Amino acid sequence: MSDGLGLSWLADIAPVPVHFVHGTADAIVDVAHSRRLHTALRERGWPVTFTELDTDHAGIVKTVCDPHLNRCRPTDLDHAVRAGDHTAQLMAQAAGQRH
């Protein structure tokens, strides 16, 4: 059965915890993609959570996309620092550490 997302293979895998982090101002990968995948996994019984942060594509890891370098580079922009700090806290929690 096709689900339109190409997720039929998930039926053969035991669910594992998944946490999505996506910037709401992401112009490279629309946040709607993560929302749809989050919903699809949840509907299949996976333990899944989702955090949307007020930043762009690279801000979730304290960086900005630099088209001249064709990569991301560190930044001190407020939105990226806040988002990156939040992402780091989520990762520490997932690792079982308090932050």
Segment-wise mean pLDDT, segments of 10 residues, the chain, 99 residues: 68 89 95 94 93 95 93 95 95 81
Query: Each residue of 11-42: b (16+ CB within 10 Å) or e?
Result: eeeeeeeeebbbbeebeeeebeebeebbebbe
pLDDT value of residue 80: 96
pLDDT value of residue 74: 96
Nearest CA among 64, 54, 6 for reference residue 31: 54
Only one residue has tokens 């997932």, namely 94
pLDDT value of residue 1: 39
Only one residue has tokens 């990226």, namely 80
pLDDT value of residue 98: 63
26 within 8 A of 97, measured Cβ to Cβ = no
* CA distance linking residue 13 with residue 46, whole number of Å: 10
pLDDT value of residue 8: 82
pLDDT value of residue 37: 93
pLDDT value of residue 4: 66
